Amino acid sequence: MAIRIYNTMTRRKEDFEPYVEGKVGMYCCGPTVYDYFHIGNARAFVVPDMVRKYLEFRGYDVTYVQNVTDIEDKIINRAKERGVTTDDIVRQYTKAFFEDRAALGVGAPDYQPRATEHVKDIISMVDGIIKKGHAYVSGGDVYFDVSSFAGYGKLSGQNPDDLKAGARVDISEHKDDPLDFVLWKGAKPGEPSWDSPWGPGRPGWHIECSVMSAGYLGGRVDIHLGGSDLVFPHHENEIAQSESFCEGEFVKYWMHNAMVNVEGERMGKSMGNFFTVRDILKKYPGKVVRYYLVASHYRQPISFGLDELDMCARALARLEDSIINAMKAMRLGSEDISKSLEAAKSKVNDIQANNLITAADSAISSFIDFMDDDFNTSGAMSALHELARAINAFIAEGSRGEDSASAAAYAVGKLWRMGNVLGFMDDETLEADAAAALGEGEGLTGPLMELVLKIRADARAKKNWVLSDFIRDGLKELGITVEDTKDGARWKLERK
């Protein structure tokens, strides 16, 4: 089955066929670094990372480019508010962006260009657009002439005449038409500027992405991603200026994720209803936030709240517990799981072991079917939980020797692999799960925990619930969770 992608341009799912077979050029609009990014922004960073990981899982050679907007009105205004330079603002929030992105399991792109590094390239493209009759100079600014581009509105599906009446367009006395947008802004006193044929100034926002995507992907983008709020005007303007300059198709597939809502309204800094990822990470591990962001299909709006995060934390814990339980019961280490990913399917004679291997294969097959269908992570997540239940049932039946261990390692490996593709399980998670399963840790952690749990078990046997709860709650504060089961108490180290 071919991977199918919902293309915003055509408003339908299409078979994915990149320009060059086996190779994918991806571009995603990056942050404007003037503040910490919020959970709504995070979805637009996590979704491309998920797409990239899955395409690589399916064997594609992916080149991923994401820009950083490091010169823009918001940056200039923030610097003025604080009485610092724009470089100070950019340095602070670019560093924060990299830190918070990493905490969500988002890998660095292959190229992370900054607008200020490509001013000469931007000036060259603007000059070319003017020479081709698609832009004009007015009042020290350069504007794109929307009326010169016949396809304007094809991405958003809007008629330019209707757009004039409405909306997200800048009003300026220097424009020939309200829809015309700026390619180059003339300098204002005290603002950063660069020399150009039209006088000192700086790039407009839209032109940055056209220049950087063309520069790093050769002018043809297989997949361009971003939030649905960027369809108009940003992406519409990207198309107009890129296709006017290059005189050919700019992007083959446009992917847009839906918004994160709070109490039914879109989250945004302008709305004043946003929650920064940095603040959220003080209360929840990054992997839980990542789980929340990929648990729903990327084109479906999602609601944000602590209840939602708590629910995702419990769901992720169930997946991890199935891994820990299997590793503990079968005395498996992380190296056993890693080997199971590289080795061919184990040959086993035990019927139950074979059934678990079949369940693991079925889960991977379902996972691929869902993900091939426009990256349906919601459906794919069901495959992970189905396999986790199969692992739990298998372990509950008891160990039957080497076949059981081989089957468990195989199934855990497949579960971990799917979680790894979705981005909330990594090598560190697997190592920590192994440590928790085997009762290992720094120094005497394992033996000490066995002693503490024995004392707690004695307290429970004597119905000394105060002491029992005191031990459990005290361990919780130390980052150790105790779970009471029919087979006795289990413990695990919680990880960020």
Question: Mind listing the pLDDT tens digit for each residue in 129-168?
Answer: 999 999 999 989 999 999 999 999 999 998 887 776 544 4
How far apart, in whole angstroms, are the C-alpha atoms of residue 66 and residue 68?
A: 7
Residues whose CB falls within 8 Å of the CB of residue 74, separated by 6 or more in sequence, listed in order: 32, 34, 35
Average pLDDT, the chain: 90
How far apart, in whole angstroms, are the C-alpha atoms of residue 103 and residue 97?
A: 10
> What are the contacts of 158-165 at 24+ separation with CB within 8 A?
158/232, 163/232
- In this prediction, residues 385-403 reach a mean pLDDT of 88
pLDDT digits (tens, 9 = 90+) for 232-250: 999 999 999 999 999 889 9
How far apart, in whole angstroms, are the C-alpha atoms of residue 60 and residue 63?
A: 10
pLDDT digits (tens, 9 = 90+) for 354-392: 999 999 999 999 999 999 999 999 999 999 999 999 999
* Residue-wise DSSP of 78-136: HHHHHTS-HHHHHHHHHHHHHHHHHHTTPPPPSB--BGGGGHHHHHHHHHHHHHTTSEE
Give the number of other Cβ atoms within 10 Å of residue 414's Cβ.
Answer: 25
How far apart, in whole angstroms, are the C-alpha atoms of residue 449 and residue 452?
A: 5
How far apart, in whole angstroms, are the C-alpha atoms of residue 132 and residue 121?
A: 17
| Cβ atoms 80, 73 nearer than 8 A | no
| Cβ atoms 62, 20 nearer than 8 A | no
Model confidence at 269: pLDDT above 70 = no
Model confidence at 496: pLDDT above 50 = no
pLDDT band at 264 (very low <50, low <70, confident <90, very high): low
pTM exceeding 0.85? yes
Residues whose CB falls within 8 Å of the CB of residue 419, separated by 6 or more in sequence, listed in order: 319, 384, 425, 429
Q: How much is the pLDDT for 247?
A: 86
Tokens matching residue 358: 């079949």
Q: How much is the pLDDT for 273?
A: 67
Each domain of the chain, given as residue ranges in start order, spans 4-303, 315-438, 439-496
| Cβ atoms 46, 28 nearer than 8 A | no
How far apart, in whole angstroms, are the C-alpha atoms of residue 191 and residue 86?
A: 9
Q: How much is the pLDDT for 272?
A: 65
- In this prediction, residues 447-459 reach a mean pLDDT of 82
Strands of 348-401, DSSP E: none
> What are the contacts of 301-307 at 24+ separation with CB within 8 A?
301/258, 301/259, 301/260, 301/261, 302/43, 302/258, 302/260, 302/261, 303/260, 303/261, 303/262, 303/264, 304/39, 304/40, 304/260, 304/261, 304/262, 304/267, 304/275, 305/262
Q: How much is the pLDDT for 331?
A: 81
CATH superfamily of 4-303: HUPs (3.40.50.620)
Ranking 168-177, 181-190, 336-345, 375-384 by mean pLDDT, the lowest is: 168-177
Tokens matching residue 470: 């005191």
| Cβ atoms 47, 85 nearer than 8 A | no
Q: How much is the pLDDT for 463?
A: 87
Q: How much is the pLDDT for 443?
A: 42
Nearest in space to 142 (alpha carbons), one of 157, 156, 124, 160 = 124
pLDDT band at 474 (very low <50, low <70, confident <90, very high): confident
How far apart, in whole angstroms, are the C-alpha atoms of residue 191 and residue 215?
A: 27
pLDDT digits (tens, 9 = 90+) for 46-63: 999 999 999 999 999 999
Share of the chain above pLDDT 70, in %: 89
